[in-house]
A and B are shown apart, each in its own frame.
Chain A
Amino acid sequence: MIKSDRKFLLLVLIPIFIEAMIFLVIPILGTIGISFTDYNPIAHKMDPVGLANYKGLFDDPKFVIAFKNTLVFTIVAVGLNIIISLTTASMICQLKSNKTRSFFRMIVFLPCIAPMVASAVVWGRSIMNTKTGLLNEIIRMFGGHGIAWTGDAQYVMLSVIIFTLWADLGYNIILFCAGIDSIPGDVYEAADLDGCTGWQKFRGITLPLLGRTTTFVVLMTLISYFQMFAQFSVLLFKDGPQNSGLVLTSYIYKTAFVYKEMGYAAAISVVLFLLILVVSLIQQRVNKVDWEY
């Protein structure tokens, strides 16, 4: 290696390496390490406790609820997200005019650029409000009774899922649109000549040829929904009645930064990490599959 190259590499990589060590690598190892202690900065505790934090998890009713809620939220919300965004994307792509297509793409993406917190404040205070919220006003207009969207344990998860879909669908619609646009047009022309209906084309061409995009979108959305936090924190009051809206992310935040039980919080965060790791490993597997068509 030439001397000047060497100097350039060292000059750039050493500071980057130090920064990556301090803020990317050490935090991972550190948190795993802390999860084997009872670290609590307020109570001045920092003793190794072995696996006690992990053993205690499934005796902790709040953890069990948070774990269950996280799975329910992620699976239901991702499932609905994929169905709705794929349908919407294929509808947008069937429009002839470029201008109308980009108009609809812009509209569906609009909520994605707004801060989730701001959207959650708007939804919580003026859309899902029990007394004066838009949703209940509409229900009353049709003669129904208003629902306590975020105040009734039965509806809390539903409310968060509806909000999340509104706020987040745009990303996947754009990705699916890009996927559909990359399918060669002559495949559809051939199908037209064979007299295929729209649904047949969707099932026979779009879905299979969109395999790679779909797998990618499903896995990325899973990973991102496991980590959703802002809407649970802002839309709900104290995790909803009977912890009906408590998820792992908000439980980790509370345990670590409100109760300062950092050792225990670290153990919960490692569980969340393992959940995400499983999905990530599946993704790497899938990436290696040959998708050529």
Chain B
Amino acid sequence: MKEIIGGSDFKKRLLIFCILLIVSIIIVLPYVWMLSNSFKTTMETLTDPMHIIPQEPTTAGYEKVLTKSPFFRWLWNSCFVTGINTIVILFTSSIVGYIFARFNFKGRNFLFAMLLFTMMVPAQVTMITTFIIIDGVGLYNSVWALIIPSFVNVFGIYLCKQYCEEIPKELIESAKIDGAGNFRIYWNIVIPQIRPALGALAIFTFLEYWNDYLNPLIYLSSTDNMTLPLALSYFSTQHSTDLSATMAASALIMIPAAIVFIIFQKQFIKGLALTGMK
């Protein structure tokens, strides 16, 4: 009896496995297509699109991206914006989250409610006035326009507050008795305790700023100042007849993130499930 159940169970799982395999192929196929086209000659992308393996493989597309466009400039801009924002947001979120979790002060609840409310407001609302402010202080067409407005991240503060509330009281009390100052407690006790939250937050902030398109589109006008997503859309319209160069540029932007993800996938997926937020 048991064997029969096991057998039908196995068949069912095999069926599920096959369906998931097909789903996976559909998901991966566009990447394969991108890579295949990026190594074809422009002629071949037009005349012979169905061959996955290029007939005359060439790196001309990649050479075009790397030599005919300021690709490394764009890469640097993206790294600069994403790097600074991630570090600053990790710092401000954890320290403010700690304060909201562990200190009682006048106006605390009001301040926190106000921050939470701003989370509901879509970027399309705030971007109009933010643009006027940024333009007013002369930061239009500067990468700093993507950095300075991002220092306070409400989601980050909320996440860190939740974790700081879980820290055992005795841990902080005993450090206080030992004479540790507030900043020292924050750095030596709070940070290590909320590390999982910070890991998840780092991933979200990285993805948010690395992939951001709307803000660069609004603020950056000269080619040299663009970040990668905006630059790619610009490059693709500039080279609208050259599919292989456009696919090479897309590949150059996607592959590093994909590699980082495959290495850290466990942390990514855990972090996402942990916070249940995007």
Spell out A's residues near B (CB within 8 Å).
1, 4-5, 8-9, 12-13, 16-17, 19-20, 22-28, 30-31, 34, 88, 91-92, 94-96, 100, 102, 104-111, 113-119, 121-123, 125-127, 131-134, 137, 166, 171, 174-175, 177-178, 198, 213, 216, 220, 224, 226-227, 229-230, 233-234, 248-249, 252-253, 256-257, 262, 265-266, 269-270, 272-273, 276-277, 280
Residues 253-274 of chain B, each 1 if its beta carbon lies under 8 Å from chain A, else 0: 1100110111001101100110
Residues of A within 8 A of B96 (CB): 12-13, 16
Would A121 and B29 be within 8 Å (CB), given that A9-B105, A113-B257, A269-B122 are in contact?
no
Per the bound structure, the CA–CA distance linking A24 and B156 in Å amounts to 14
Q: Which of A9, A19, A121 contacts B246 (CB 8 A)?
A: A121
Instruction: Return the contact of A30 from the options B27, B123, B132, B149 (Cβ within 8 A).
Output: B132
Known: A30-B129, A31-B128, A121-B236. A227 touches B273 (CB 8 A): no
Bound complex: CA of A175 vs CA of B152, how far in Å? 26
| B172 → A minimal CB distance (Å) | 12
If over half of A's interface residues share one DSSP class (helix, strand or loop), that class is named, otherwise mixed; here it is helix
Q: Using CB atoms, name the residue of chain A closest to B50.
A: A137
Known: A25-B114, A115-B210, A174-B272. A95 touches B254 (CB 8 A): no
Interface residues of B in 116-151 (CB under 8 A from A): 118, 120-133, 148-151
CA distance A101 to B243 in the complex (A): 36
Residues of B contacting A107 in the complex (Cβ-Cβ under 8 angstroms)? 24, 27-28
* Contact among B23, B33, B260 with A122 in the assembled complex (CB-CB below 8 Å): B33
B25-83 contacts to A, CB under 8 A, are: 26-31, 33-34, 37, 45-46, 49-50
Residue numbers of B with Cβ under 8 A of A are 12-13, 16-17, 19-20, 23-24, 26-31, 33-34, 37, 45-46, 49-50, 92, 95-96, 99, 103-105, 111, 114-115, 118, 120-133, 148-152, 154, 181-183, 207, 210-211, 213-214, 217-218, 228-230, 232-233, 236, 243, 246-247, 250, 253-254, 257-258, 260-262, 265-266, 268-269, 272-273, 276-278
User: Can you name 15 A-B residue pairings with CB atoms under 8 Å?
Assistant: A1-B104, A8-B183, A27-B127, A27-B129, A28-B125, A100-B17, A110-B28, A110-B31, A113-B257, A117-B211, A119-B30, A166-B27, A175-B273, A227-B124, A230-B213
Closest 5 A/B residue pairs (Cβ): A30-B129, A178-B273, A27-B126, A117-B229, A8-B182
Inter-chain contacts of A131 with B (CB < 8 A): 46
Apart from A88-B23, A104-B20, list 14 A-B contacts with CB within 8 A.
A16-B151, A23-B152, A26-B129, A27-B129, A34-B128, A88-B20, A95-B20, A100-B17, A108-B27, A115-B210, A117-B211, A117-B229, A119-B254, A178-B276
